[in-house]
């Protein structure tokens, strides 16, 4: 065999990596994203237009005002220095127009002043960032790591969010929660109140703690956070302390109806503090409790049978469906039937209230839906929070969620409940006028 000459043999395949094949990874805090820059430019342009429109509207409201020499009294007066507002896509530079009142000095109380709503004077971060901060804290991000975490999310220019700034914000949240817990309630009244104990996967020091929550419906139909504190396993003692604290701060008028699950601790406390308030058990919790005492093979049928009760058009129809369920399941599944039977009256209380409110009154959904989002945003992690700090963080999340709570349907019916109008099967009972005509003597 001949020997191949090295000079004439084909070159060996090489596997060395060239610079052309190296992809540089984006480091935390560095954006190299054209789409993000386009979004920022678009946000900057839209914000500028919105601010200009707000100023133009303000000037238009005062267009008829003239100075002593006949000139326009309220006019534009340049711009304030440019500042960055931190948003969900990073910092966006903005310039706020100035407005001048030519007829009044700066210290004159009667001076016409422009108070922007889109860009308040001391606003440095959007509401979405305010919500993000407690989320990150509950997720386990320590104060010292906030700058790095936010730089990775918002860009390297995420200024003003250093460890010291986060510490000041956290102290502010604690102060806000403390002030909220001491607020005066003497001018408040709630027609309905929903109550529930929420167990979060937040990093609390004491895993036995839960958050006791009360949400109330005002006479105008708006839902408000009424009570919010921590408690040990929803005990009657802790619920009683919360309800009595509300009374001490001026909430003297008891609600017409309270909606809660089957937690005995709350109902014991509510019966002592609000003895004349009607009770409504949550149908979602009751359904889960009944199904837990049945084999899974029975769940679909039993769930439909329970739904026929609370979806009935009238109380009498619901009573028939209630009796049918008890009769069907007592023989083989007595525990499930007893679980339903024992709360019969409190499960059907909603029929004595306006039909428009039934979907709000049958469950504790106003609390559950709010805290479903909070639960997804919190998790247990290393480095436990004190209960006080965790409560303040969750309070900020609930406070933000409260802005999106829906008004009650049929809110015009609430004042009727306050004055004592009765309802039967959801329909207002019209009192018949008494015959006040004097009887004439027989001739």
pLDDT, one tens digit per residue, over 394-436 is: 787 788 778 888 899 999 999 999 999 999 999 999 876 654 4
Residues 6+ apart with CB under 8 A from 341: 326
How many whole angstroms from its chain centre is CA 90?
25
Residues 6+ apart with CB under 8 A from 441: none
Edge-to-edge strands, sheet with 278-281: 223-232, 209-217, 192-198, 257-260, 278-281
Report the alpha-carbon distance of residue 269 to residue 236 in Å, rounded.
5
Residues 6+ apart with CB under 8 A from 329: 294, 302, 336, 337
Q: Are residues 100 and 185 in the same domain?
A: no
Residue with tokens 């329909």: 427
Q: Is residue 158 part of a domain?
A: no
Q: Is residue 431 part of a domain?
A: no
Report the alpha-carbon distance of residue 145 to residue 28 in Å, rounded.
12
Q: Are residues 113 and 191 in the same domain?
A: no
Q: Which domain holds residue 52?
A: 34-124
Domain limit, last residue, from 81, 107, 124: 124
Residue with tokens 């004055």: 419
Which value, to the nearest 10 degrees, does the dihedral of the CA atoms of residues 345, 349, 351, 353 take?
160
Question: Mean of the per-residue pLDDT values for the chain?
Answer: 77
Q: Is residue 427 part of a domain?
A: no
Kindly report the pTM of this predicted structure.
0.65
Instruction: Tally the C-alpha atoms within 13 A of residue 363's C-alpha that lie toward its C-beta.
Output: 15
Tell me the pLDDT of the chain (443 aa) as tens digits.
455 454 555 555 555 555 555 555 444 444 455 555 555 565 566 656 767 777 888 888 888 888 878 888 888 877 777 766 655 445 666 677 778 888 777 677 777 877 766 566 655 555 555 555 555 555 544 555 555 545 544 445 454 455 565 666 677 778 888 899 999 999 999 999 999 988 765 555 555 568 899 999 999 999 999 998 887 767 889 999 999 999 999 999 999 999 999 878 899 999 999 999 999 999 999 999 999 999 999 999 999 999 999 999 999 999 999 999 999 999 999 999 999 999 999 999 999 999 999 999 999 988 888 777 665 545 444 445 567 777 777 787 788 778 888 899 999 999 999 999 999 999 999 876 654 455 554 44
Q: What is the number of helices (H) and of strands (E) in the chain?
A: 15, 11
Q: Is residue 4 part of a domain?
A: no
Query: In the chain, how many domains are there?
Result: 2
Report the alpha-carbon distance of residue 164 to residue 162 in Å, rounded.
5
């Amino acid at each position: 065999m001949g020997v191949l000459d090295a000079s004439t043999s084909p070159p060996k395949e090489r596997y060395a990596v060239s610079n052309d094949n190296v992809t540089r990874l984006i480091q935390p805090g560095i954006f190299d994203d054209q789409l993000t820059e386009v979004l920022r430019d678009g946000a900057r342009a839209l914000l500028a237009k919105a601010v200009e429109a707000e100023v133009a509207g303000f000037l238009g409201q005062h267009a008829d005002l003239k100075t002593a020499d006949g000139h326009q009294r309220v006019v534009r007066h340049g711009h304030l220095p440019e500042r960055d507002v931190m948003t969900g896509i990073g910092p966006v530079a903005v310039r706020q127009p100035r407005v001048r009142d030519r007829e009044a000095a700066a210290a004159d109380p009667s001076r016409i002043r422009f108070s922007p709503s889109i860009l308040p004077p001391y606003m440095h971060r959007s509401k979405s960032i305010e919500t993000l901060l407690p989320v990150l804290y509950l997720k386990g991000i320590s104060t010292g790591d906030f700058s790095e975490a936010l730089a990775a999310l918002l860009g390297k220019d995420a200024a003003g969010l250093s460890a010291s700034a986060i510490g000041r914000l956290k102290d502010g949240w604690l102060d806000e929660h403390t002030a909220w817990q001491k607020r005066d309630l003497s001018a408040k009244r709630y027609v309905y109140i929903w109550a529930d104990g929420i167990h979060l996967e937040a990093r609390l020091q004491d895993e036995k703690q839960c958050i006791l929550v009360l949400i109330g419906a005002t006479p105008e139909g708006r839902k408000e956070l009424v009570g919010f504190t921590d408690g040990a396993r929803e005990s009657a003692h802790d619920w009683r302390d919360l309800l009595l604290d509300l009374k001490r701060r001026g909430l003297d008028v008891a609600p017409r109806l309270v909606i809660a699950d089957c937690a005995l601790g709350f109902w014991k406390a509510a019966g002592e503090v609000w003895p004349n308030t009607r009770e409504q058990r949550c149908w979602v919790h009751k359904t889960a409790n009944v199904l837990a005492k049945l084999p899974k093979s029975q769940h679909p049928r039993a769930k439909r049978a329970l739904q026929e009760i609370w979806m009935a058009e009238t109380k009498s129809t619901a009573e028939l469906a209630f009796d049918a369920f008890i009769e069907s399941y007592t023989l083989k599944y007595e525990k499930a039937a007893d679980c339903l039977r024992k709360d019969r009256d409190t499960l059907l209380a909603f029929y004595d209230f306006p039909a428009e409110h039934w979907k709000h009154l049958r469950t504790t959904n106003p609390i559950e839906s709010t805290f479903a989002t909070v639960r997804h945003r919190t998790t247990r992690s290393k480095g436990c929070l004190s209960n006080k700090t965790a409560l303040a963080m969750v309070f900020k999340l609930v406070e933000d969620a409260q802005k999106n709570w829906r008004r009650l349907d049929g809110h015009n019916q609430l004042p009727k409940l306050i004055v004592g109008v009765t309802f039967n099967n959801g329909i207002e009972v019209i009192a018949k006028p008494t015959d006040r005509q004097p009887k004439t003597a027989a001739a």
